[in-house]
Homo-oligomer: A and B are copies of this chain.
Amino acid sequence: MAKLTTCIDLMDEGIDRVSQIIPTMPAAEARLCRLLLMVGEGIDQELAFKLKPHKLNHSEFLTLMILYSRPDGSSTPGELCEFATQGATNMTRIANALARRGLITRGASAADRRRVVIRITAAGRRFVKEMLPPMFPRIDTMFDNFSATDKRHLDRLLRKLAGNLDRLSEHSHP
């Protein structure tokens, strides 16, 4: 598997050459975008690696965690779509997958019969409580050489960037 750092080196060279041909390019900013995308993919793969033994994929895990973290352990497909930034179509499949394994239940809403109520089961809670801790060491290792201020900075900058992205997409694809 290709190392992330060598990909980054190649990306740096590539951007240098492109910005020679097209000097109006915002090279530093484009570099940051690519960096972010690459590191994001790296974390994705790391997460997938940790989820594979449990036969979960990223979106199923996220959905289960959202339910786990809710005080009442329940939600609806529509709400879960919002929070997990998933399409409704996919949420149907995710719910099917989790329900088939007995980690959640699907029931009809009494108040609004269009709605489906999804609830995490006791088995689902047990499952999460057991699978989560073994991930912790690797998460810690990811930020090994990060000082407290490093972490604070990264947190702040990512949130700032998220705000900018929100404003961008508001204007164009709202």
The residues of A with any CB-CB pair to B shorter than 8 Å are 1-5, 7-8, 10, 13-15, 17-18, 21-22, 24-26, 28-33, 35-47, 49, 65-66, 68-71, 82-83, 85, 129, 132-133, 136, 138-146, 150-151, 153-155, 157-170, 172-174
29 contacts between A and B (CB under 8 A): A1-B169, A1-B174, A2-B82, A5-B163, A5-B166, A7-B82, A7-B85, A10-B83, A15-B69, A17-B71, A18-B65, A22-B132, A22-B133, A24-B136, A25-B136, A26-B136, A26-B139, A28-B155, A29-B151, A33-B139, A35-B159, A36-B36, A37-B47, A49-B173, A141-B167, A142-B164, A146-B160, A150-B160, A154-B157
